[in-house]
Structure 1
Amino acid sequence: MKRYLINAISLLLLAVIWSGCSKKEAPLLPTEGNEGYTLPQGNHDYDTRILNYYKKYGTYFLYQFSEKDAYWTPTGYKNAIKQGQYWSDGFEMKAADQAFINQQLDLFESQCLNFYSEKFLKAFLPSKILLCSEVDSIYNDFDFSTSPATVVKGLRSVAAWYNYNNLLINYGNAKVLTITPEEKKLYLAKVNLNLINSITEAKKTSPTTAFSGSANYTIAPTSDADAYAKGMLTAYYNGPTATSDWYLYIQAMVSFSEDNLNRLPDSWDTSFTGILNPAKDSNGIIKRRYDLVRNYFKENYNVDLQLIGNAAQAN
């Protein structure tokens, strides 16, 4: 009897131990996709978050990556280099400081991802989001202390940069802890515009039949006013097409508020300001086409692109 009691107690203890072990969180298992990147890249708390992004959207959020990942395109590397005395167009970057990646992801979520539905992000996010501590646009500056003036490399920090199926995002550094409301708004505008440009440059979206048929492209416009009257946003001298206009309507929504789109423009203004005002939209065609694009993304992806432009230009 005593032996049976001991056996029963032993079985009960084993059951309790097994139950406790089964409730422990499963370890992160490596995931490798078609592009050869393996997640997680480390064992930080944000690695779980990054792995969940991949599972949800199919996009790699990388904080360890090569220069090829950042700069390579089929037509060559896009990092700025010195050619003779001048610098080529391009950018420079540095990988994120890993101490600030959680805060960097918080910023990216609140100012970018949260504007879109999961369906939209699955369809349109680039394959890689590169987490950076620095993203700089390079330009040619001049040192006038010498005679003659000499060319020097100019650096302009930017919130984001799109480069062939990857989006590089800034603020993986201590600045993310003290970002001001104005800086946050600039970040919102730049990151979302770069995301939209990545979609259009990769031709992941195209005009609907209704949009293509809502303007007559058989007769080329002869002036800016003529293009606007025909419902075209592409500069008249650039040969407007349904595709080029589709992209520009999207860009207008994410970069300009509704107030600015409806504002009375200056007579010489060829920006998106006032494209919905009768001063530019003399025949009301731009407004009809604008509604076609806006409603397409609402109905098919549950995303109102205009809310991004409103937030980017909010007072």
Structure 2
Amino acid sequence: MKKYINLILFAGVLALLCTACKKEKNLEPTEPQSFYQLPQGNQAYDDVFVKFHQDYGTYFLYRFSDNDFRWNGTSRLLYMAKNAEEEQIMTAYNFIKQAFLDDYTAEKLRQLLPYKILLSSGIHQLTVNASKPTGYDTLATNIGMYTGINHVTFGYTNATLSAMTAAQKLEVQANLHKSFFSYALSREKITVPAAFTALFNATGNSATAYKSLGFLEFQRSYTVNMDFTAYIYNALRYNERQFSALYLTAAFDGSGLVAKKYALVKQYLQAEWNIDTEIIANRGL
């Protein structure tokens, strides 16, 4: 009798497991949760941002909280970003479109775009000051661009953008490309080309030795991603003549590594992204 009861119990458990497995197979994926409400206002650019989110899944936000910018996964950034000057939003968006978005296909943009693009009127570093109510001092200099864990923030949504010189606009343009590549690399949506990685070596890096290692700038804790995006910035900021005068001299590139890395980056941008660096570096904005 006991054996008979055990068989019944076993059959019952087996039936429940089969039912559960069957139900699990029929589960449908849910839509990702949306944390932001669009449109944020009722201006013409709000329609642009709604359409952009529909096309790419990326939010353009000009009203955002401190946490939207500063939260970095496990900590808060020692930077702050102010909301956009709303009368400058369309000017800022048009600049981003001309200087960055229009250079890539929709497919390629999806590789580079973050969850959100924050339009800010200024991004400022915070320094610890326990005597202040906030606990920080805010440095006056606007650093202009910042790449966070899930955002790229554009800090020129203010009147200064229209007043910039042509050279200043080229700097911002190159920084836009660098920032989005930095984001995509940090999230492993793209990778540094193997040929460039093979040339990277930070052993012995110092304020006096960085040039011989093929670095364009000195950073104490240098990574291959930082090296690669520094080349992207400079290849897009300067045309070949200007880049050669700055970096391909015997004094700067005695090892020949800068010339090799520069050629690799130009080739990579053309082959993988259809980016002609000369067009962008010589563009009028």
Q: Which bin holds the TM-score, normalised by the shorter protein?
A: 0.5 to 0.7
Structure with more strand by fraction: 1
Aligned residue number for residue 41 of structure 2: 42
For the 8 Å contact 2:52–2:58, the answer to whether it is kept is yes
For the 8 Å contact 1:193–1:255, the answer to whether it is kept is no
Aligned length: 248
Q: Secondary structure at the match of 1:50?
A: helix
Report the alpha carbon displacement of residue 161 of structure 1 after superposing the two structures with TM. 2.4
Report the alpha carbon displacement of residue 156 of structure 1 after superposing the two structures with TM. 1.2
Q: Would you say 1:197 and 2:185 are equivalent positions?
A: no
Aligned residue number for residue 165 of structure 2: 181
Whole-Å separation in 1 of the counterparts to 2:207 and 2:173? 30
CA RMSD, aligned part only?
3.9
Report the alpha carbon displacement of residue 261 of structure 1 after superposing the two structures with TM. 2.5
Q: Which amino acid aligns with 2:190?
A: T
Report the alpha carbon displacement of residue 152 of structure 1 after superposing the two structures with TM. 6.2
Aligned residue number for residue 81 of structure 2: 93
Q: Which consecutive residues of structure 1, in runs of 5 or more, have no partner in the other structure?
A: 1-31, 79-89, 142-150, 264-272
Aligned residue number for residue 250 of structure 1: 232
**1:301 alignment partner, one of 266, 270, 273:** 273
For the 8 Å contact 2:235–2:277, the answer to whether it is kept is yes
Per-residue CA deviation, residues 121-167 of structure 1 (Å, 9 max, x unaligned), is 211122111122333344689xxxxxxxxx96431124322222212
Aligned residue number for residue 207 of structure 1: 192
Q: Would you say 1:262 and 2:244 are equivalent positions?
A: yes
Distance 1:173 1:281, change over 3 A: closer
Per-residue CA deviation, residues 25-54 of structure 1 (Å, 9 max, x unaligned), is xxxxxxx85453333333322122112222
Q: Which TM-score applies when normalising by structure 2?
A: 0.67
Report the alpha carbon displacement of residue 106 of structure 1 after superposing the two structures with TM. 1.4
Whole-Å separation in 2 of the counterparts to 1:233 and 1:109? 30
Aligned residue number for residue 151 of structure 2: 166
Report the alpha carbon displacement of residue 296 of structure 1 after superposing the two structures with TM. 1.8
Q: Equivalent residues in 2 for 1:6-17 (5 A)?
A: none
Aligned residue number for residue 65 of structure 1: 64
Structure with more helix by fraction: 2
Whole-Å separation in 2 of the counterparts to 1:112 and 1:41? 23
Whole-Å separation in 1 of the counterparts to 2:88 and 2:208? 49
Whole-Å separation in 2 of the counterparts to 1:226 and 1:105? 41
**1:290 alignment partner, one of 242, 262, 269:** 262
Q: Which consecutive residues of structure 2, in runs of 5 or more, have no partner in the other structure?
A: 1-30, 130-135
Report the alpha carbon displacement of residue 290 of structure 1 after superposing the two structures with TM. 2.4
Q: Identity across aligned pairs (percent)?
A: 25
Whole-Å separation in 2 of the counterparts to 1:237 and 1:185? 23
Q: Which TM-score applies when normalising by structure 1?
A: 0.62
For the 8 Å contact 2:89–2:157, the answer to whether it is kept is yes
For the 8 Å contact 2:126–2:137, the answer to whether it is kept is no
Distance 1:41 1:138, change over 3 A: same
Q: Would you say 1:105 and 2:93 are equivalent positions?
A: yes
For the 8 Å contact 2:178–2:232, the answer to whether it is kept is no
Q: Secondary structure at the match of 1:188?
A: helix
